[in-house]
Amino acid sequence: MSDAFTNNAARDTQIADNLPQPFLVASRDTGEDFTPTFVPIHRPKYKPGIHVLRCVAVRLRHMFGGHKLELEFEFPGTTDRVRAYLHMGRGPKPTVGAGSRYTQLWQEVTGRRSTRMPSKVFRWTYFECEIGDVAKTHDGKDQEAYSRVQNILQAVQR
């Protein structure tokens, strides 16, 4: 075994010792394997109905073969959060049509029409949202129920 390989193995072991816990590194010198641990995501459950929520984060995601805009909402006065997803097309780039829910909400929030509609206008805006429960996975299997935004009804002036 060369000195360069031994030095690299020692360096890798030192780096692995300093990493936070879900990050485990297999050792090159022993060939040891590691088993990752699954930690379930906390999915909150709230009372179904209509609530006024504030949008605190906006992310573009690629999910289920298409683009989705993920809007993360917070209940006022708390740190409790739920998410909503708006469809943004299936092509190579996110696109929305004139009659899409994204376009309707964007025009409601800004009060104008445009061909360029940046999603940042949703952040820190209050919306009236319908909260509902999800009890099945996308393929119909039962799962522990959690809450999500089922419908964004309208922007609310505060």
Q: What is the mean pLDDT of the chain?
A: 81
Is 60's pLDDT higher than 90? yes
Looking at per-residue pLDDT, the higher value among 150 and 36 belongs to: 150
Helix boundaries (H) for the chain: 3-18, 101-110
**26 and 55 fall within a common domain:** no
**6 and 77 fall within a common domain:** no
CA angle in degrees (0–180, nearest 5) for 94-73-101: 40
Query: How big is the chain by its Cα radius of gyration, in Å?
Result: 22
Torsion of CA 48, 51, 57, 61, to 10 degrees: 40
Residue span of the structural domain in which 34 resides:
1-39
Does residue 44 sit within a domain?
A: no
Does residue 144 sit within a domain?
A: yes
Does residue 8 sit within a domain?
A: yes
Read off the pLDDT of each residue in 44-59 and give the average, rounded to a whole number. 93
Read off the pLDDT of each residue in 41-67 and give the average, rounded to a whole number. 89
**21 and 90 fall within a common domain:** no
Is 153's pLDDT higher than 90? yes
Residue at 55: amino acid letter: C
What are all long-range contacts of 108-114, with beta carbons under 8 Å and residues at least 24 apart? 108/154, 108/155, 109/155
* pLDDT tens digits, 118-150: 999 999 999 999 999 988 887 888 888 889 999
**89 and 35 fall within a common domain:** no
Residues 6+ apart with CB under 8 A from 85: 61, 63, 68, 69, 70, 71
Per the structure, how many domains does the chain have?
2
**23 and 58 fall within a common domain:** no
